[in-house]
Amino acid sequence: MTKPLFDKIALIGIGLIGGSIALAARRGGLATRIVAATRSEETAATANRLKLVDHCGTDLAAACEDADLVIVCTPVGACGEAARTIAPRLKPGCIVSDVGSVKQAVVDAMKPHLPAGVHFVPAHPVAGTENSGPEAGFAELFDGRWTILTPLPDSDPAAVDKLETFWKALGSLTQRLDPADHDRILAITSHLPHLIAYAIVGTADDLAGHLNSEVLRFAAGGFRDFTRIAASDPTMWRDVFMNNREAVLETLGRFQEDLFYLQRAIRWGEGDKLFELFTRTREIRRALIHLNQA
Ligand code: NAP
């Protein structure tokens, strides 16, 4: 039997992403021992009942004792405080990573707390669902999906390679990016679509008030898809927007210009402009299916 990649893995936070990492790591035989720590007794009890890990407690620092890999799986806004709490118990040579949907702000929040001799390699699995909490985790979440690693200029190359091997073994495809580039790309591919979904469902709900709920009763395909996205975790998404402010505002500005272009085309009856855009976007959808990411 081959030796597991890591002796001990510690997950700080055990919701959808932490739980899925635990299950996928166990499926792949990637660690001798997997432990977790979370904020609440209730989540810890659920993680233990579901046997997601060998043990889940509420002492974040204690969980990291002797760990070879620590992954912070909390909302982005809690990563800095988690790093500060666990720092004194991190073993020299340990790899510390995270899964945050924003990278530069997480790097800025975590890095100052991490002691020398610990290898910090931030990462973001671009895979998820609108569900959260330990019961939402499943082993197949990362299969065939991208995980973006955003190593820092001083990240240890061997640690980066090892974390990349880990994510591949969890089922992911991997890509390395600069943290700021990651944030700009995700602003348009993930953050803005969520913002639009939150806005459109809110607008429809306000309208429903005036129209005696008819709007929500007749919710059809497109709107239903938006409601699924708009059911995503409020804490997680508040933190994303508070921590990727610049890139989101820049992208939102461009998007508003494009919306005005469409508004004008509709007002002036310029159907050709609409047709041209809708044809181009249809091709994008087909290309996406071709890339197997739809
Ligand atoms: P989740 O299901 O809500 O789980 C969050 C975990 O973090 C829970 O264990 C929670 O503990 C803990 N936590 C929350 N606030 C904390 C705090 N202040 N201090 C310590 N622990 C805290 O969230 P998730 O969906 O797994 O997301 C986790 C991270 O993954 C986020 O940074 C998110 O940006 C990123 N991500 C999410 C997705 C997605 O689609 N959901 C995809 C990719 C990356 P308690 O339950 O005990 O309070």
Q: Do residue 228 and residue 203 come from a single domain?
A: yes
Q: Do residue 65 and residue 169 come from a single domain?
A: yes
pLDDT at 224 over 60: yes
Q: Do residue 279 and residue 250 come from a single domain?
A: yes
Q: Do residue 188 and residue 172 come from a single domain?
A: no
Atom of ligand 1 at shortest distance to CA of 239? 34
pLDDT, tens digit (0-9, with 9 covering 90-100), for 147-205: 999 999 999 999 999 999 999 999 999 999 999 999 999 999 999 999 999 999 998 88
Among residues 118, 148, 177, the one where a domain terminates is: 177
- Give the separation between CA 273 and CA 110, rounded to whole angstroms: 47
pLDDT, tens digit (0-9, with 9 covering 90-100), for 69-84: 999 999 999 999 999 9
Residue at 234 is within a domain: yes
Q: Do residue 34 and residue 126 come from a single domain?
A: yes
Residue at 1 is within a domain: no
133 lines ligand 1 (CB under 6 A): yes
Q: Do residue 165 and residue 198 come from a single domain?
A: no
Residue 94 CB contacts under 8 Å (≥ 6 apart), including other chains: 64, 67, 68, 69, 70, 118, 119
Listed in order, strand segments (DSSP E) in the chain are: 6-12, 31-37, 55-57, 69-72, 95-98, 119-120, 123-125, 146-149, 173-176
Q: How confident is the model at residue 218, as a pLDDT?
A: 73
- Give the mutation target among 17, 99, 237, 239 for probing the ligand 1 site: most ligand atoms within 8 A of CB: 17
Nearest alpha carbon, ligand 1 atom 18: 78
Atom of ligand 1 at shortest distance to CA of 17? 26
Atom of ligand 1 at shortest distance to CA of 136? 2
DSSP 155: S
Range of the domain at 200: 181-290
137 lines ligand 1 (CB under 6 A): no
pLDDT, tens digit (0-9, with 9 covering 90-100), for 275-290: 999 999 999 989 988 8
pLDDT, tens digit (0-9, with 9 covering 90-100), for 127-149: 999 999 999 999 999 999 999 99
- Give the separation between CA 103 and CA 147, rounded to whole angstroms: 12
Average pLDDT over residues 121-130: 96
Helix (H) or strand (E) holding 20: helix 16-27
Q: Do residue 158 and residue 277 come from a single domain?
A: no
100 lines ligand 1 (CB under 6 A): yes
Number of domains in the chain: 2
Q: Do residue 136 and residue 238 come from a single domain?
A: no
Residue at 11 is within a domain: yes
In this prediction the pTM is 0.95
71 lines ligand 1 (CB under 6 A): no
Provide the CATH number for the domain around residue 25. 3.40.50.720
DSSP 189: I
Provide the CATH number for the domain around residue 221. 1.10.3660.10
Residue at 193 is within a domain: yes
